[in-house]
A and B are shown apart, each in its own frame.
Chain A
Amino acid sequence: MTVQLDKQSKVITGNAAAAYAAMLCRPDVVAAYPITPQSEVVEQLARFHANGVLDCEYVPVEGENSAQNVVCGASMAGGRTFTATSSYGLVYMYDALFNTAGYRAPVVMVNVNREPPGIHAVCSGQQDMISTRDTGWVQLIAESCQEILDTVIQGFRLAEDHDIQLPVMINYDGYYLSYLAESVEIPAIEDVDKYLEVLKSQPQRPRLIPGQSIGCGSHGMGMGYVELRRRHMDAMERVKAKVDDIDASFAESFGRSYGGQVETYRAEDADIVLVTSGSVTGTARTVVDARREAGLKVGLVKLRLFRPFPVQQLSEALKGKKAIGVLDRSIGFGWNCGPIFMETKALASQIGIVPMLSFIDGLANMDITKEHIDTMIDAIYDASQGKDYQETTWLP
């Protein structure tokens, strides 16, 4: 593939969009291991590196655990770093995820959502992302190929921000987005440089320098540990407003924005809403349009930020609705519902008690069709009319 660094529009996959974005951000170190459905990201980055377009230290590691440790270390030394994984790979770096976050190393990683081990499914599903929600990483979810590219660029700006200094994981659905080819606007590299330039004017973050003493990953027992955990949590809280700011300044630079933490679609005057994330949001938009046409006041709320959970923004979007549905592409053991539903339900003290319905759909590549979305909207509507409803519904 020929590579130009000028602004261009190209029909590329979600995986290629992720690789282009990473390249445009000029990482110092890339270390990654291929895994279906993410392999194309690694292949494309290796090609950029081999062609001289990507001037970085490219480390062909022997597995994902090493990949994460390499980028964590390189990030601690002050470098800009990128990696990519999926499913088994993500859980193979589980211990390293905690380290990277605990060291406050601003690694940027894409995770191509795929079902994790247990039942061998080389298929889409968000369970891998869900299973790492408490590792201390920021987790964002993209809907389209363009949003993947733009969110990776935003991800570097977020991770390395002096007020944040946290690793960022950008998630997108395997198959439905990783292999989806769409026209994507690839910005000029100078414009990406400009967008990231603000980071250079911030105070330098602490880094490992040979000969200089610095404590990291050392024993933090008792109060030392507590203090660092508290600071980590505070930084995570700051991420929320920062995601909105960074998205707004992205719009100024590139003319595209995604609503920050959450995007509302025809939800302001809606009686009932469906909460979605990832690729299915696009399908849901078309169904909401059709139902609006037929006179039903239904809206859509797209969750873009999953960690930290956008408590305030989501509450505001859901307040005053007569019934709410939440679509999950994974399951939450113990609560007999979807994980994003579980977290949304915890907003009840802010939004009031209204019928809330959990829909589990799209596991293992099962297609979330327009008919499925219609079924969900019908169930939410019936619940809003006072009819009995079942809390958790599995589709198909």
Chain B
Amino acid sequence: MTMKEIRFHGRGGQGAVTAAKMVASAGAEEGMYVASFPMYGFERRGMPVVAFTRLDDKPIHEKTQIYTPDCLMIIDPSLLNLKGVFDGFKAGGVLILNSSRPLEKAPSENLEKSGVVDATGIALDEIGRDIPNTCLIGAMAATTGWFSLDAVKNCLSEYLGGEVLEKNIRSATRGYQEAEVQTWGS
């Protein structure tokens, strides 16, 4: 696999930073080299947050932010129309979107595959709080195939424990099963 660069867009408090790290851990579970970091100034709830994850078969040396993502995860649907979200989106790109409605038109001409899931609804059902990140990681596994659902489940235990872990595993599994995967013509 050539290097995959993933950019996460969320709002402070939704778990974008943790999602980026969890995806790195899932990649590591699959034996890949991984690197992930967020970029923000002051930590504030509700502020747009960006985080980055790289996955590769080879050691990853670059420490820069991601400008030409292979994949975008949009954790807050209101960010879909935010200026700059699709900047540098590579041709053949994959979009993972939290939305209760299906994607009617491609938000970028470079979009090849999308995985849409109502992660907020599922998170409210399963976890009881609007923490949609683990559900979207399940959707990412289903849409990209870069790592398995088992890798996601295993890595979650690094971050969560007890009942919360169980709830998030259910949320991730539903994300994997319920993601509406769609291919876009080019």
Residues of A that sit less than 8 Å from B by CB: 1, 9-11, 13, 36, 122-123, 173, 175-177, 179-183, 279-280, 282-283, 285-286, 365, 367-370
Contact = CB atoms under 8 A, between A and B. Distances in A.
Given A11-B25, A286-B62, 4 more contacts: A9-B28, A122-B42, A282-B62, A370-B62
A181 B64 contact: no
Interface residues of B, number: 25
B127 interface: no
A180 B37 contact: yes
Contacts of B42: 122
A370 B64 CA distance: 8
Given A280-B63, A367-B64, A180 B39 contact: no
A181 B61 contact: no
A89 to B, nearest CB: 17
A367 B17 CA distance: 18
B33 interface: yes
Given A282-B61, A282-B62, A368-B64, A10 B34 contact: no
Interface in B64-82: 64-65, 67
A36 B155 CA distance: 26
A179 B16 CA distance: 13
Contacts of A180: 35-37, 63
Contact of B61 (A122, A176, A285, A367): A285
B62 A179 contact: no
A271 to B, nearest CB: 23
Contacts of A36: 43
A182 B37 CA distance: 9
Contact of A123 (B21, B33, B41, B61): B41
A282 B38 contact: no
Nearest to B25: A11
A10 B41 CA distance: 27
Interface centre among A177, A180, A285 (most CB of B within 10 A): A180
Question: In the complex, which of the residues B24, B41, B42, B61 has the most CB atoms of chain A within 10 Å of its own CB atom?
Answer: B61
A283 B63 contact: yes
A364 to B, nearest CB: 9
A181 B34 contact: yes
Interface in B1-56: 17, 20-21, 24-25, 28, 33-39, 41-43
Contacts of B158: 1, 10-11
A292 to B, nearest CB: 14
Given A11-B24, A122-B41, A367 B33 contact: no
Given A10-B158, A123-B41, A182 B61 contact: no
Nearest to B157: A2
A181 B18 CA distance: 10
A365 B60 CA distance: 20
Nearest to A278: B63
A180 B24 CA distance: 11
Contacts of A367: 64-65
Contacts of A279: 63
Contacts of A173: 63
Given A181-B35, A182-B35, A11 B21 contact: yes
Nearest to A9: B28
Contacts of B33: 183
Nearest to A373: B64
A13 B38 CA distance: 11
A175 B64 contact: no
Most buried by A among B20, B21, B155: B21
A1 B160 CA distance: 8
A10 B28 CA distance: 8
Nearest to A176: B63
B30 to A, nearest CB: 12
